[in-house]
Each structure stands twice: as structure tokens, then as C-alpha cells.
Amino acid sequence: MRLTLTTWNINSVRLRIDLVAKFIKSVRPDVLCLQETKCVDDAFPLKRFKRLGYEHIALNGQKGYHGVAIVSKIPFESRDVRTFCGKVDSRHISVSFGEQAQIAKPLTLHNFYVPAGGDIPDPVLNPKFEHKLSFLDEMRDCEPLHPKANDRHILVGDLNVAPHEHDVWSHKQLLKIVSHTPIECEKLLAVQSQGDWIDIARQRVPLSEKVYTWWSYRSADWTAANKGRRLDHIWVSKALGDSVRDFKITRDARGWERPSDHVPVTAVLDV
């Protein structure tokens, strides 16, 4: 089975539901993982998604902040929510696919929204940054995020770290900017290493090339400045390493009316 999967920090699903619909009608992913949905589960636009063909929906939301969701054309076998750092703040949801989706071997999908970390890259002065570092440490040590040899797992989301030199517009200028500080990069890469995850973007795009998924609202002309960062990721376990057939970043979405500052990231896999 060929599976098209998209991850997108939508920055308020209710505010941008028309943009989601526009994207869905164009790309038609089988599964869409959203972050920063910013609404309680009861307020999620279920009816709109179902009209668009997404009958299967897993939610972990809260009012005004954070929130993650997985909407799917194909049914789930199960769903799960994990908390990190002792906080119930709607930053993770996972689902599994199997026989109901006509997938012969079980497939597990994790959707994350890692804390942004505030503006000051000092865990002593900035509790938000300390939270982010602790969150990444817990991800590294989380057993369900350590796929075994034959486990078919996918991890996606706004991981809020651009870990490589060319994941940002200027490595030198962003070394002391939250999302690209050495300690954050080290910790996210430790999560990847501990789970033996494959970063699809960097599997398909050389480390020497620039790749971005986020452009700040603060830039008056984001296209001309092009000061981006790669904060949104799709990782697969080793068992899926040879299954990736396509990868795309929908950069144009950043220029849509009232856009998110993140754009959709899509992978196509044979599962």
C-alpha cells in the first residue's frame, strides 16, 4: 500500500481550516498530522474534516495553546497519548494502523509538538528553555520511541529544532538563537540516534543544501529575505528506510492568505 503522510504546524486549526482544505484538495494525503491546533477536542472542526473525506480522527487538544491531531482516510487500530515532564499540555498523540487499513504489518505513527523554548537560551534564566531541554531528554529515554529491528514506526511533527548547519539560513548567526543552539541540536540528534531513526529530509537532500519549513512572521518580505529554519520533521524507523518514495515541502503555503509560519511537509511511503 502506498501511504501519503503530511505533517503541518497549522497555528490554529479553526482559524486556518480553509487553508487546510485547500491543501487537502490539492495533495490529498492519506494521513494529516497537525500541531498547534489551539482548541479543545470538542471544538475541533470534525464535520469539516469528515466532509473532506477524513473519517478517522485522533485528538489531544487544549484551549488556546499547543494541541496535536491526526486525521486520516484510513482507520486506526488504536490510539495513545503520552505526557512529558509531568505536564498535561497536549504535545503528543500516536495511532497504529493494521488490518482495518489493509496494512499487513503493524504501523505506528507518533505526532509531536516539542516546546518552542522561549527566547533566552539559558535554562537557569528561562523556564521555557529548561522545559524544552527536559522534554527532549525524555523523548530520548522514552522506550516506545526506540523501534526494534522489525518495528515499522514513523515520528513526525514540529520538533522545534533545526539540528544541522544548513537547516537554518545562517548557522553562525543562529548559534545563540533558540531552535539552533548547540545544546538543542545535540539533544534532538540524541533522540534520533537513540531510536535509530532516519530523517527523511536529510536522507533525500544532502546536508550541504539548505532546507527550510518555517519562516518568521517578523520578516516583512519572507520570500526575499528567505531566513528560514527546518523545524518540521518526518522520521522513519530502519524497517521503513527503503520504503520512502517521495518527499516534498509545500513552500508556497507560506504565501497563502493569513498563513501559518510553518508549511506542510509530506512523505510518500510504501507500507
pLDDT computed for residue 219 by the predictor? 84
User: pTM of the entire structure?
Assistant: 0.97
Pull the grid cell for residue 16. 486556518
The pLDDT mean for the chain works out to 97
pLDDT band at 220 (very low <50, low <70, confident <90, very high): confident
Q: Could you read off the pLDDT of 83-95 as tens digits, one per residue?
A: 999 999 999 999 9
Contacts (Cβ under 8 Å, ≥6 apart) of 257: 19
Q: Which residue has the cell 522513519?
A: 236
- What residues does each domain of the chain span? 2-270
What does the alpha-carbon distance between residue 130 and residue 170 come to, in Å, rounded to a whole number? 24
C-alpha cell at 49: 474534516
* Grid cell listed for 261: 509560519
Which three three-digit cell numbers place residue 181?
A: 543552539
> What are the pLDDT digits (tens) for 128-179?
999 999 999 999 999 999 999 999 999 999 999 999 999 999 999 999 999 9
- Cβ neighbors of 191 (< 8 A, separation 6 or more) are 136, 139, 140, 145, 197
CATH 3.40.50.300 fits 2-270, yes or no: no
Classify strands 78-80 and 92-97 as parallel, antiparallel or unpaired: antiparallel
Which 3 state secondary structure label does DSSP give 128? helix
Helix (H) or strand (E) holding 189: helix 182-194
Q: What pLDDT score does 76 carry?
A: 96
For residues 245 and 2, what is the distance between their CA atoms, to the nearest angstrom? 9
pLDDT tens for 182-204 read: 999 999 999 999 999 999 999 99
Task: Look at residue 241 and give its three-state secondary structure.
Answer: coil
Sign of the CA dihedral running 84, 216, 218, 67? negative
pLDDT higher than threshold 90 for residue 50: yes
